[in-house]
Amino acid sequence: MTITSVDKDLKALTMTITAQFNAPIERVWEMWENPRLLERWWGPPTYPATVVDHDLSPGGGVSYFMTGPEGDGPHGWWRIVAVDAPRRLEFESGLADDLGEPKIDMPTMMVRVDFDEGAGGDTRMVIVTAFPSLEAMEQMLSMGMEEGSRSAVAQIDDIL
């Protein structure tokens, strides 16, 4: 079934993506934990991701870049804040320059991913992205964050 809702709350400065998968929680968690699986869905279909570094322990980080149809390669990073495998992952997220260094002129976001397993063995995944300001939220949304996130998460079903 994949994505069941995408909600933007301008007052709370959040975007929440809820998805449902016909797979056990451990398998859905693996989509984040395994860098080779993560790069199969993290970027939208036209911008596949390549994970360079991947350490999901608190204080660790993930760095990646995407390769666009024109050869462009936007880079990004995560700083891991908290992990409770396979139930929760929290990280700070931002864009990076071509060397993988955080772009200080771009906003960073806090992301919390919660996983809940249903009685039938299916898993609900909720991704809440919190923005530091309305301006930052509007900037990221205008860059296609919602559409990119939708199309990225929609790829998970095919991998599962």
The pLDDT tens digits of the residues spanning 41-74 come to 999 898 999 999 999 999 999 999 999 898 888 9
Can you tell me the distance from the alpha carbon of 66 to that of 81, in angstroms, rounded to the nearest whole number? 23
CATH number (domain holding residue 146) = 3.30.530.20
The answer to whether the beta carbons of residues 152 and 30 sit under 8 Å apart is no
What total number of domains does the chain contain? 1
> 139 lies in which domain range?
2-159
Task: With CA atoms as reference, report the closest residue to 75 among 111, 112, 40, 106.
Answer: 106
Average pLDDT (112-128) is 95
The more confident residue out of 136 and 2 is 136
